[in-house]
A and B are shown apart, each in its own frame.
Chain A
Amino acid sequence: MIENAPNEQEEQECPDACFQCNSPDYEPGYTVRLCKTCRKRFSRYPLKKNILLGAIGLGTLFAVSLYSFQYHFKAAISYEKGITYADNRDFVSAENEFQSILKRYPQNGASKVHLLTAYFYNNKLEAADSIRNELEKNPSLRYKEDLTEEVATFKDLWDKTHAQNPDLATAGECLERNRLPEADSILRKLVHANPTNWTASLLLSKCLRQEQKYTEALSICDRMLSYNHQLPAALAEKATLLKTVK
C-alpha cells in the first residue's frame, strides 16, 4: 500500500523549515518540507530485523537450491532435447539424450519410458523389452499417466513382432539360400501384418534389391525412415540401394 504522509505541516514548528530538523534549507518542490539529509534518512527506512533474517534464510535456501540446479539443468536440457528429437523422429539422438539422463537419475521413470520407445524405433528390441520388464516389476518408478499408454503400445508391438519370429527365421533362411520369391512372399506378409517389424522390413528391402526391384526396395527404406529418420540399418540399406542404382 502506498499512502501519503500524514499532515506533517501541522507538526512543523516553523512553516518555512525542514519539519524534522527545522533547517531552513529544505528541498523545494515537495509537499512535505524536508532538508536533503532528512529526506535521505527517511527514504532509507530501516528493514526490520525479522525481515532481514527471513531474507538471509531464503537466500541461503536459494543458494543450496542453485547448487543442485547445475545437475538438474543439464538433465532437463537433455530431457527436453530428447523429447524434441523423439517428436522429430530422430530416435538415435533421442536414445543418447535419455541414456545420459539415466546416468544421472537411474530411477527416472519418464526417461526410461522414452528410452524404451527410442530403443524400439532403433530396432533394439531386447534392450527395450528389458526396460519394460523393469518398469513392470518396479512400480516405484513413477512416470506420468500419458506414458502408460506408450508402454502398453510397446508391449502389443513387441508381442506382435515376437510372434512373427518363426516366420522371420524361415524368410531369412530362404534369403540366404537365394530362394528369393519365397522369401519375398513371406516377408511381404510379415510387413503387411506388422509394419513396425523393422527386421522383416530390412530383409524385404534386401530381398527386393537382390530381385532388382529397386524402386520398391527404396520405398520400403523410405517407409522405415519415415518412422525413424536415423534408423542406422535403413540408412545403410538405402545407401547401398542408391549406390547399386547408380
Chain B
Amino acid sequence: MIFVPGIYIMLITFPGVVVHEFAHQLFCRIFGVAIFEVKYFQMANPAGYVKHEPVRNPIHQLFICIGPFIINTLLGLTIAFPAAVPVFILGEGNFLDFVMLYFGFSIAMHAFPSTTDAKVLWDTIWHGDNIPLWLKILTVPIVALIYLGAAGSMFMLNLLYGMGIAFGLPVLIMKFLANYY
C-alpha cells in the first residue's frame, strides 16, 4: 500500500504506484497466491492496493512485501540508465531521454514498501505459527527499515531515493565501468 504524502506527488509520479502494485501482484502470481482485487492507481488514500489471500508459506509473504523494492528499483534503474548517461555525463540529452528519466525516477521513487506492507509481514511472520527463528530474526531489520523509510518519506526520502537510483547510480556505474572497459 502507498500512503499519500501529497496526492499531487502521487498523481505526477503515478507510473511508480502502478509498478509498485504490479510488483505485489507479480510475486503473488509467482508464488500462486490468490488475488481478489488489484487497484493500480486511484486518487485516494491508499493510492493503490492488492487484496490477496493469507499466504501458506511465510517466505512468500516476505517476497510479496519487498517485491516492489526489488522490481521498482531494478526497473527504475534500467529505464533511466540509457537516458541518464547522455544527460548527466555528456550533457547531450534529448526529449526522449528526459521522458525516460521521468519514468525511471517515478518508478524508483515508489520502491519503498508501505507501513501496511510491513504490518502484514510482521503479523504473518512474527506472530505466525511454526515460523523458523531465523526468518523471524530476518524480518526484524526489514520491518524496521520499512518503517524508517516510511518515516523518511515525510522528509522526501523516497524522492531522494528515486533521484539516487535514476540519476546518480547510472553515473556511478559508468565511472566504475570506465575503469574496467
Contact = CB atoms under 8 A, between A and B. Distances in A.
Interface stretch (B83-91, B132-140, B142-150): B83-91
B166 to A, nearest CB: 13
Interface stretch (B5-13, B30-38, B155-163): B30-38
Interface majority SS on A: helix, strand, loop or mixed? helix
A210 B21 CA distance: 79
Interface majority SS on B: helix, strand, loop or mixed? helix
A4 B15 CA distance: 24
A51 B40 contact: yes
B82 A143 contact: no
Interface in B88-118: 89-92, 96-97, 99-100, 103, 114, 116-117
Contacts of B48: 1
Interface residues of A, number: 48
B152 interface: no
Contact of A109 (B21, B91, B96, B103): B91
A61 B86 CA distance: 16
Given A45-B29, A61-B100, A2 B34 contact: no
B92 A1 contact: no
A134 B177 CA distance: 32
Given A76-B174, A81-B178, A84-B178, A32 B18 contact: no
A43 B51 contact: no
B127 interface: no
Contact of B90 (A6, A47, A48, A79): A79
5 contacts: A2-B116, A32-B54, A42-B36, A43-B31, A58-B15
Interface of A: 1-6, 29-32, 34, 38-40, 42-45, 47-48, 51, 54, 58, 61-62, 64-66, 68-69, 72-73, 75-77, 79-81, 84, 101, 105, 108-111, 142-144
Given A6-B51, A47-B22, A76-B86, 11 more contacts: A5-B53, A43-B31, A43-B33, A45-B28, A45-B38, A54-B15, A61-B96, A69-B85, A80-B175, A80-B178, A109-B91
